[in-house]
Structure 1
Amino acid sequence: MDQIQHKYVDINGLKLHVAEIGTGDKVVLFLHGFPEIWYSWRYQMIAAAKAGYRTIAIDFRGYGESEIPAEPEKATFKDFVDDVVGILDFLQIPKVFIVGKDFGAQVVYTLAILHPERVLGVVTLGIPFIPAALVGQLYSALPQGFYIMRWMFPGRAEADFGRFDVKTVIKKIYILFSGSTVPIAEENQEIMDLIDSAAPLPSWFKEEDLSAYATLYEKSGFSTPLTVPYRSRPADLGEVAEHVSAPTLLIMGGSDYFYKFPGMEEYLTSGAVKHFVPNCDVTVVEEGSHFVQEQFPDLVNEHIISFLGKH
């Protein structure tokens, strides 16, 4: 970890945090999800650097060590895409392999659609490309206690989270999202009530990892993270077709709760995803959770580096 270097770059009026290790003409950019930060890619960054790649991970605006926008409640997915393009321009990187996890996958796919000339290949973890029409279908099949529906309305998640210190909130979310069932609360419950504060961390997530996350969320708060992804619509593609032409690898945990969404497994195994991402290969890590890259880092590293080498 000590060999990873950190700097801040001025992009679109904000100081954004960039972590970097390795050298070489081929670059891999990692984009985190929620409740993650750049640190969630620590194992992948070091492995890719050892394999000969210049490896970069960022904190999105309002996350981790990146500056919080003046009006975090107005942050959008398009802002995140524009920030990534701005970082690539600032670092003078014309083309990149781009890896995204959770909602970071949505940023990756949007970038690959709007700026295909910048993308050598795509790897996503936990979330496949989901066309706009399917998003509504997925959510409509789930009850009102579904965590995304609870968190999309301003104030409710803030009140729920506010009952606990930041470290406990991150702990509860990590345990919750490590499960194999879709997080759904009863009518008289809040999402944080689904996990006991005394519950143990997953065996692969250490106390020092929790402290690293908590320290940064104490700095950033949850205003931007609750806005993007939970309260911001996907970036408007205009007249551009929902089509990702770049070679793509999707890594799913077989025990990932997202894999259990109604219709998700069929969408992937039937090949329907290839209507939108024709060059997509799907790899399932059987015991993997939503945090598969932290749970099984060596296996995920092997899949990613093999993909990079092929393209």
Structure 2
Amino acid sequence: MDKISHRFLQINGLNLHVAEIGSDSSPAVIFLHGFPEIWYTWRHQMIALATAGFRSIALDYRGYGLSDPPAEPEKASYDDFVNDIASILDSLSISKVFVIAKDFGVWVAYSFILLHQEKIAGIVTLGMAFTPPAAYKPRFALPEGFYVRRWQEPGRAEADFGRFDVKTVVRNIYILFSRSEIPIANENQEIMDLVEPMTPLPSWFTEQDLATYAALYEKSGFQTALQIPYRASKINLGSVEQVPIVKAPTMVIIGEEDYATKIPGVDEYVRSGEVKKYVPNLETVYVPNGSHFVHEQFPNHVSQLILGFLNRNK
């Protein structure tokens, strides 16, 4: 960890935090995090890839971690994140890059990729495959108590989170998202109430890890994190009429116990091969017992999967 360097880049009027390890002359890899994560979620993979001869770069999105918040977090958009990534790569003089993304970072990644296919050497996503509007079909509606629906409601999560300190909020979300069941609250419950106070952390997530995340969310707060991904307008991934095709080699790594695979239609979309209509050069790998945080749960295994892909496509 002490070999990872940190700097701030002046990007689109904000100071954005970037963590790096590896030689500037090595093939570049940029890591895009989800929620409740920041750059630190990729620590294991960053080091493994740099050791194997790649340049690892991970950022905190604007309003996350050590990066500056936007002037009006409630108006932040996915386009802001996409433009920031393009500007970071330009600032670092990187013309070709591998993109590795997780959770809602997958949406950010694919929006960036569709705009800059010529810059993409390959794509690895964790937990989520490319799902453009053309792929959506009528599905079962998730109940009102589904955490995404709750957090879309302005003020609801703020009131829920506000009953606890930041460390407890991050702890509860990590515990919830590590389970195989979709987090759904009853009518008279809030999402934070789904975790009993004495519930232990997952065995692979240490108190030091929790303290690191908590310190960074103490700095940033949750204002931007609730706007993106939960409340922002839809990201540009094409349309029903204009179906985008992702040409670059692609891998998706999915934990078999990831709660997100239980969302109606999600698992079938990948396993049936429908996804290959949009991403024809796709390799799918399932990790037994893997959770939503498969890259932290099984860091060596996931790092080796990623390295195999990178070496085949560099």
- Return the TM-score normalized by structure 1: 0.97
Matched, 1:37 2:38: yes
Would the aligned equivalents of 2:73 and 2:223 in 1 still touch at CA under 8 Å? Answer: yes
In structure 1, how many angstroms separate the alpha carbons of the residues matched to 2:8 and 2:263? 38
Counterpart CA distance in 1 for 2:86 and 2:16 is 13
- Deviation, 1:53, is 0.4
Q: Shift of residue 132 of structure 1?
A: 2.1
- Paired residue for 1:177? 177
User: How far apart are the structure 2 equivalents of 1:147 and 1:48?
Assistant: 34
Q: CA deviation at 1:36?
A: 0.3
Distance 1:290 1:27 in 2: 25
Post-superposition Cα deviations, 1:97-133, rounded to whole Å, max 9, x if no partner, equal: 0100100111111111111011110000011111225
- Which digits, 9 at most, give the CA deviation of each residue in 1:203-241, with x for residues without a partner? 000000000000000000000000000011232356863
Give me the whole-angstrom Cα distance separating, in 2, the residues matched to 1:141 and 1:268: 19
Contact 2:127 2:258 survives alignment (8 Å) = yes
Secondary structure of 1:29 counterpart: strand
Could you say if the C-alpha distance between residues 295 and 259 of structure 1 is closer, same or farther in structure 2, counting changes exceeding 3 Å? same
* 1:253 and 1:284 in contact (8 A); partners too: yes
Equivalent residues in 2 for 1:222-301, closer than 5 Å:
222-236=222-236, 241-301=243-303
2:28 and 2:97 in contact (8 A); partners too? yes
Task: Please state whether the residue corresponding to 1:41 is helix, strand or coil.
Answer: helix
- Give the CA RMSD over aligned residues: 1.3
Q: Structure 2 vs 1, CA of residues 162 and 28 (structure 1 numbering), >3 Å: closer, same or farther?
A: same
- 1:197 CA drift (Å): 2.0
Distance in 1, matches of 2:177 and 2:103, equals 11
Conserved in 2, the CA contact under 8 Å of 1:114 and 1:237?
no
Structure 2: runs of 5+ lacking an equivalent: none
Q: Give the Cα–Cα distance (whole angstroms) in 2 for the partners of residues 291 and 157 of structure 1.
A: 22
1:1-311 matched pairs, under 5 angstroms: 1-23=1-23, 24-134=25-135, 137=138, 141-236=141-236, 241-311=243-313
What count of residue pairs does the alignment treat as equivalent? 310
Q: Distance in 1 between matches of 2:90 and 2:138?
A: 37
Aligned 8 A contact 2:133 2:238 in 1: no
| Native 8 Å contact 2:132 2:237 kept in 1 | no
| Runs of 4 or more above 4 Å deviation | 133-138, 237-240
* Contact 1:31–1:57 under 8 Å retained in 2: yes
Contact 1:38/1:59, CA 8 A, preserved across alignment: yes
| Aligned counterparts of 1:12 and 1:136: Cα–Cα separation in 2 | 37
Sequence identity percentage: 58
Determine helix, strand or coil for the equivalent of 2:229. Answer: coil
For 2:35 and 2:57, the matched residues in 1 are separated by 18
- Offset at 1:163? 0.4
Distance of 2:235 and 2:191 partners within structure 1: 27
Compute the displacement of 1:137 (Å): 4.2
Q: In the alignment, residue 298 of structure 1 is paired with which amino acid?
A: N
Amino acid at match of 2:47: I
Residue 112 of structure 1 contacts residue 246 of structure 1 at CA under 8 Å; is this kept in 2? no
Out of 160-169 and 106-115, give the one that drifted further.
Answer: 106-115
Q: CA deviation at 1:244?
A: 1.2
Mapped partners of 1:297, 1:236: distance in 2: 31
**Equivalent-residue separation in structure 2 for 1:135 and 1:14 (angstroms):** 35
Contact 2:38 2:213 (8 Å CA) reproduced:
yes
Give secondary structure in 1 for the equivalent of 2:98.
strand
Residues in 1 aligned to 2:158 and 2:137: alpha-carbon distance in whole angstroms: 24
CA contact (8 A) 1:161 1:169 kept: yes
TM-score by length of 2: 0.96
* Counterpart contact for 1:166–1:218, Cα < 8 Å: yes
Cα deviation code 1:243-265 (max 9, x no counterpart): 21111000000000001111111
Greater shift, 45-54 or 23-32, is seen at 23-32
Following the alignment from structure 2 to structure 1, what is the Cα–Cα distance between the partners of residues 243 and 272? Answer: 22
Check the 8 A contact 1:5/1:20 in 2, yes or no.
yes
- Structure 1 residue 134: deviation in Å? 4.8
